[in-house]
Amino acid sequence: MEVLYNYALRMTGNTEDAKDLLQETFLKAYRFWNKFEQGTNLRAWLFRIMKNTYINLYRKESKEPDKVDYEEIEGYYNLIRDQNSDDNDLQQRMFGQLLDDDVSKALESLPEEFRTVVILCDIEGLAYEEIAEFLQIPVGTVRSRLHRGRKLLYARLYDYAQQRGFIKKGTNE
């Protein structure tokens, strides 16, 4: 459940929306339990339900007219964000004091297909096969995206690593 919540939080960017998405996922799983094939990967099945639910909600919301001035909301959010820190914030829990904003920004800057695989594998610890089943892509594609995503992160974080002494200047390791 925690892995699903973390992924929902990554997709929605909001704790309440993530909780709603997780609840909707479990409701659909319960409703369609008879469709689940015994002996297959339950976690991948739940991930697929969550992904499809999110996509359907996103499509529904994108068809609705805008009702909010986002610049006002963004300004308000930035004002109160520093005052409130949510213990359930995924980035705070994942990175804690180990990583700073540069690492989070580098991860967020990855194209979605690479970011998703890196998060599911390197942060959530899912196996390649589980990721492949969840994303409905071949395992080779998972490996390829993970490799390319890690290379992109490496390139974006090279200076960061040098500045903090993780890499000696003039080396690639």
The pLDDT assigned to 81 comes to 52
**What average pLDDT does the chain have?**
78
The pLDDT assigned to 145 comes to 95
Assess whether pLDDT exceeds 80 at residue 58.
no
End of a domain among 94, 119, 136?
Answer: 94
Assess whether pLDDT exceeds 80 at residue 25.
yes
CA distances from 100 to 92, 103, 105 (A): 10, 6, 9
* Total tally of structural domains belonging to the chain: 2
Q: 117-155, pLDDT tens digit by residue?
A: 998 888 888 889 988 888 889 999 999 999 999 999 999
Q: CB-based burial of residue 60 (10 Å sphere; 0-12 exposed, 13-18 middle, 19+ buried)? A: exposed
End of a domain among 59, 94, 129?
Answer: 94
Q: From CA 93, how far away is CA 87, in angstroms rounded?
A: 7
The pTM (predicted TM-score) of the whole model is 0.52
CATH code, domain with 106: 1.10.10.10
Q: Region 27-52: what's the mean pLDDT?
A: 86
pLDDT tier, 3 (very low <50, low <70, confident <90, very high otherwise): confident
Q: Which domain covers residue 119, as residue numbers?
A: 99-173
- Better-predicted residue by pLDDT, 90 or 60: 60
